[in-house]
Amino acid sequence: MSSLKYIQYQGLLVSTAAHSWESLEYAQNFPVQHTDVFAVTYPKSGTVWMQEILPLVLNGGDLTPVLTIRNHDRVPWLECKQLAEIVDRLTSPRALVTHLPYSLMPPSFHASKAKVIYVTRDPKDVLVSSYYFHQMAAFLEDPGTFDEFLGKFLEGRVPFGKWTEHVKSWKSAELGDRILFITYEEMVQDLPASIRRISDFLGSNLSDEVIQKIAEHCSFRSMKDNDMSNFSHVSNQYMDTNKSSFLRKGIVGDWKNHFSSEKLVRFVSVMNQELKEESSCLFVWI
Ligand code: A3P
């Protein structure tokens, strides 16, 4: 494994395991189509969940792709090395995911009618999920103690930078009816209703029966058992499942098991400071 775990591209920190200068340039020159659908997330906010939901919503609930194609090949990351290898295999309407901030989306995206589903998650739970992911993923820097990692997260010294910058960039994007905001928490609370929102946004016109079938397939338990979605093909050398699973807990509020009252005060005060220009109703967790 390369000793250089991260590179910076236009100020954005990314891991060299999945990204290269070429893959980021490829993303910049990627010809976005009008029918493309992007699920945009800050890492650990529900990306692989959307890689499961989107193909099913777009194809009327046919389970074939989610049971036969690995998640990163069926709904690839825009910025990752893999996209160039598999792009010709994608069928329209294409679904992609990205962690890029709005400012780094390719020019063709802005000229297109491509739709975006932006998934946000309570940043305290994002931090906890990310902490365990940094422990198990050998291609990420060791997170240190939870307290140390909290500091890194708040300062944006983690891949894809500050949570606040990412969310602000997409919340202020003027995309009109091309963008749907959805939260991880509402998906946990009522997955069929969330899938209905996504389906209506994409004009998929799915029956209640199909929505139910998709929700069952996309439950945490079902995805954990799906070898096309649970990263079981990745060697323990890269993702050490003895330390943590990629599909780890899948719950809301795990932060309560990790934050002391002092840490909570520190976290909330930084968030408030950085979000003060924004409408607070956009940030339901702070
Ligand atoms: P936890 O570590 O809190 O369990 P991402 O895909 O953006 O990296 O996000 C990973 C997080 O989403 C993990 O959170 C993972 O368990 C959770 N997740 C993935 N699929 C899920 C599902 N079907 N239901 C609930 N949570 C899910």
Residue 107 C-alpha to ligand 1 middle, in angstroms?
30
Report how far apart the first and last C-alpha atoms of the chain are (Å, whole number).
38
Q: Whose CA is nearest to atom 25 of ligand 1?
A: 250
Catalytic residue from among 19, 99, 134, 166: 99
Count CB neighbours of 180 within 10 A: 18
**Largest pairwise CA distance in the chain:** 51
Give the pLDDT score at 276: 79
Cβ atoms of residues 20 and 81 within 8 Å: yes
Could you tell me which residues come within 8 angstroms of residue 254 by beta carbon, excluding any fewer than 6 positions away?
A: 125, 128, 129
Q: Which residues of the chain fall below pLDDT 70?
A: 1-3, 277-283, 285-286
Record the tokens describing residue 3, joined without a space. 């000793």
- What are residue 98's DSSP bridge partners? 40
Q: Any alpha helices (H) in the chain, and if so which ranges?
A: 21-28, 47-58, 64-68, 71-74, 82-86, 107-111, 123-136, 146-155, 163-171, 184-189, 191-202, 208-217, 220-225, 261-275
Ligand 1, pocket residues at CB < 6 Å? 41, 43-49, 125, 129, 132, 188, 218-220, 223, 247-250, 254
Q: Is 72 a catalytic residue?
A: no
User: What is this structure's pTM?
Assistant: 0.97
Taking the CB of residue 46, how many other CB atoms lie within 10 A of it?
A: 26
d(CA 240, CA 234): 9
Residues in the chain: 286
Q: What is the pLDDT of residue 277?
A: 67
